[in-house]
Chain A
């Protein structure tokens, strides 16, 4: 029956030359079997394509969440945010009439702008009513109209103009524990409405410039050390200040939202075996940490370690007749810490650990001092501070009282301040704090941005690492926080800026150190070939050959 069927199906009839290397001797193949064969081949291909390809895709694809790479790089290059530091400075002139005050303000502002050559950091004067004013209505205005609450925290410094008759004027004085500058003047020093300058205005301007000199220097240094995009705005620093700032910054710890303070009492003998550390910390340290709470949080712990001598690697102390004391050489101080024996492991949890070591020398080697300067305490950059406590009495007490600890605590407090990078000037502590706030905010923004850039580069370069969604989420929130922080900086709301910058930094770290991104084994391509080919090669070859053959036989059939 095949012939008959072959006969009536002549259009698709497969003539000899369809199948290569076949002469007329070869009997024609029936249409049925021909299509049967094609169906078989198609069925195999269907399985391979409809099931095989999706399976291959699903099992070998590496998940890479979408990252805003361009934006990340822009942040790193500083294209997205030009940090500016507009400081609000309030002038309280209760006794001045409105227009005089305004005029004085303008003239002072002019003088300031002439002095300032650092565009990113400029002081904006503004007039506020002092709460002392007798006028009730104005009080109402100050409290409600201007929204004093929000203003108070954003005002960097308030100048109080106080008219005096005696004494050298104009003279000014900075309050040590309040961000206030008292300016004493006499009425004749007020700028006459016609003139554009007056001794009072210039003196205020110079005073302000002096006050904020170090802050400007710090910020300028910060900008100069980060990517070149900011160099444009950079204020020229004298090499002297530059090295000084460098020294400070190398000494200070990297900023962290939380610091762990560890106070350790070490003694090579068995005494003293106790100290009144709780009360001492309460008395001498808590206020300081309180005032820093706006910038960082602190955890405090303490320990007592007996039989813990200093490192044996350094030269033994020698007795100095002149000083009547045992002395250590200055170059040995770096090796004083006995890292092998003293249990100074960093505290668990995020944030760096600051160590404060109180060392009570052996009775036989007391008092112990530093040869060169006769001092007994020094600071270990980015690590902490050391103080050698030489007991007053000849006999070392078993317990160190709160008072005995007082000097140690004071020097520890100073060391903490410089470790936290608090600037030296100006005299007013709140001002220095707010300066630190601004500097930290800026540095956080820079570091978070550079982390973003690094992440972007990493994902660009390594095609084979997966990018989980968590990373994408962290990146997005980092961006958001950075943007907000930058905007807040522009508005001069530095507290908010710091908080956002902090979040941005932590999110950036989280994204960068995502565990599932690392540890991905890397397979070179030849390895993949060696794994795939043995099975897929021999299976694919017949499939492909058969498919090609059928196609060859089909195409001319179509043409005819």
Chain B
């Protein structure tokens, strides 16, 4: 009961903060929407408006170099009043998105899959934050707030990823598959989350239904479900835009990176400077690099599928072509689910310091390069390197902690002892 009040209070407060920011600083949304750290070419709200304008004026939004986002967003936003004149509806929508995402996060936390999955009981299972605290960590994370205020469409992606995780950790197959297919439809790379989440869902189902669940039938049915859902979405989009050309303009752009607008990721400057004859090869290498983690992690951490999924979101936040702080915010707020691992982390100070350093210096150096002209591109590039380094340290460190945690369960005698890797 009390928790419900707290929850209502928390959500109310979060919504209030957002709406106040929206209304009190009317120029803030556009300012943030213009920041390269917040909105990338594939998530920018301004580009969405442009696509919307072309869509409503019967010009194909994909016959141009500006709009690279999913077609189904167009009818959704064409229902809302024009945000440049009546922004309130849009603001409300984005606030709702965040609240729903937080709700999903709460569900994940409550289904204590983070600490006690089916095959593994962490020895520190009591050390955990309350679901409300985790939700608060998400809702009041400045990165999340900035994403929301900038109305970047990655808010949708984050919502669907979180929903997929939540439903998977509740064993609700259909919603899980549908949410994940939506996320993949919007951002393509979340498809890599499917195997770990499938395992998670399976574990939960096994625990719930006392009878045995045939793993083969289970996975086949879910894969089919995913294919059907994603295919349906793509087909609807084709019907909507009247042709399949949107594929090249959305997923093609993510794959081939024709738009080199700076972002916090590693790709843009690399491919600005790369020699043309090696471009395709390294695009392939970078994508393989992103994809190559999934099987290894899933196999090694079979016992903690949720942790695998979370680590993957962290990897996305660093190594995908158009990352933004939205991805980072998603990962950081998911990491809080694993409070019990924090004592085992070794470089937490280093990592947090690096991330803070980057998030403060990034805008400054970008200003020096673009506006003041007193710095050049290398300034911002260096900061993106630091940022990526910091995040990857967090990822690696949490992974180490998770393994150490498993070790403690395997061999309790080593607990608290110095360990080494051979």
Contacts and interface: CB of A to CB of B under 8 A. Distances in A.
Interface of A: 2, 19, 21-22, 26-27, 30, 33, 36-37, 39-40, 43-44, 46-48, 51-52, 55-56, 59-60, 521, 523, 531, 535-536, 539
Contacts of A46: 295
A55 B275 contact: no
B292 interface: yes
Interface in B272-303: 275, 277-278, 280-282, 284-285, 288-289, 291-292, 295-296, 299-300, 302
A536 B285 CA distance: 9
Given A2-B410, A27-B411, A521 B277 contact: yes
Nearest to B275: A531
A15 to B, nearest CB: 15
A59 B280 contact: yes
Contacts of B422: 19, 21-22, 26
Contact of B411 (A2, A19, A52): A2
Nearest to A527: B275
A27 B407 CA distance: 13
Contacts of B281: 55-56, 59-60
A59 B300 contact: no
B277 A40 contact: no
Given A2-B411, A22-B422, A59-B280, A52 B285 contact: yes
B292 A47 contact: yes
A55 B291 CA distance: 14
B199 to A, nearest CB: 14
B296 A44 contact: yes
Contacts of A539: 289
Given A22-B422, A36-B299, A55-B281, 9 more contacts: A2-B411, A26-B422, A37-B300, A43-B296, A46-B295, A48-B288, A55-B285, A531-B278, A535-B282
Nearest to B286: A535
Chain B interface secondary structure, helix, strand, loop or mixed?
helix
Interface of B: 275, 277-278, 280-282, 284-285, 288-289, 291-292, 295-296, 299-300, 302, 410-411, 422
B275 A40 contact: no
Contact of B288 (A37, A47, A521, A523): A47
Contacts of B410: 2, 30, 33
A536 B289 CA distance: 11
A278 to B, nearest CB: 52
A547 to B, nearest CB: 13
B277 A523 contact: yes
Nearest to A27: B411
A535 B285 CA distance: 9
Contacts of A60: 278, 281
A210 B316 CA distance: 90
A40 B299 contact: yes
17 contacts: A2-B411, A19-B422, A26-B422, A33-B410, A36-B299, A36-B302, A37-B300, A43-B295, A43-B296, A44-B295, A47-B291, A48-B288, A55-B281, A55-B284, A59-B281, A521-B277, A523-B275
A525 B341 CA distance: 47
Most chain B beta-carbon neighbours within 10 Å: one of A27, A30, A36, A47: A47
Contacts of B288: 47-48, 51-52, 55
A48 B291 CA distance: 10
Nearest to B413: A27
Contacts of B278: 60, 531
A22 B422 CA distance: 9
A11 to B, nearest CB: 22
Given A48-B292, A59-B280, A39 B299 contact: yes
A546 B189 CA distance: 28
A27 B291 CA distance: 34
A475 B59 CA distance: 46
A47 B296 CA distance: 10
Contacts of A56: 281, 284
Contacts of A19: 422
Contacts of B291: 47, 51
Given A36-B300, A59-B280, A59-B281, A47 B411 contact: no
Contacts of A531: 275, 278
A361 B124 CA distance: 110
Contacts of A535: 282, 285
Nearest to B410: A2
Contacts of A22: 422
B277 A47 contact: no
A55 B284 CA distance: 7
Most chain A beta-carbon neighbours within 10 Å: one of B277, B282, B289: B277
Nearest to B279: A59
Given A19-B422, A59-B280, A59-B284, A40 B292 contact: no
A538 to B, nearest CB: 12
A36 B302 CA distance: 9
A40 B285 contact: no
Contacts of B285: 52, 55, 535-536
A2 B413 CA distance: 13
A46 B299 CA distance: 13
A46 B291 CA distance: 12
Contacts of A521: 277
B281 to A, nearest CB: 4
A178 B96 CA distance: 100
B13 to A, nearest CB: 44
A27 B412 CA distance: 13
A188 to B, nearest CB: 86
A522 to B, nearest CB: 10
Contacts of B280: 59
Contacts of B284: 52, 55-56, 59
Contacts of A27: 411
3 nearest A-B pairs in the assembled complex, by CB-CB distance? A43-B295, A55-B284, A59-B280
Contacts of B292: 44, 47-48
Nearest to A522: B277
Given A19-B422, A59-B284, A535-B285, A43 B299 contact: yes
Contacts of B302: 36
A69 B289 CA distance: 41
A539 B289 CA distance: 10
B300 to A, nearest CB: 5
Contacts of B277: 521, 523
A40 B282 CA distance: 24
A33 B280 CA distance: 38
Given A47-B291, A55-B281, A59-B280, A40 B411 contact: no
Contacts of A21: 422
Contacts of B282: 535
A48 B296 CA distance: 12
Contacts of B295: 43-44, 46-47
B305 to A, nearest CB: 15
A43 B292 CA distance: 8
B258 to A, nearest CB: 16
A48 B282 CA distance: 14
Most chain B beta-carbon neighbours within 10 Å: one of A21, A37, A55: A55
A270 B291 CA distance: 79
Nearest to B281: A59
B402 to A, nearest CB: 14
A25 to B, nearest CB: 12
A300 B347 CA distance: 85
A36 B289 CA distance: 21
A36 B298 CA distance: 11
A484 B280 CA distance: 45
Contacts of A2: 410-411
B285 to A, nearest CB: 7
Contacts of A33: 410
A539 B285 CA distance: 11
B301 to A, nearest CB: 10
A19 to B, nearest CB: 7
B307 to A, nearest CB: 15
B250 to A, nearest CB: 21
A2 B300 CA distance: 16
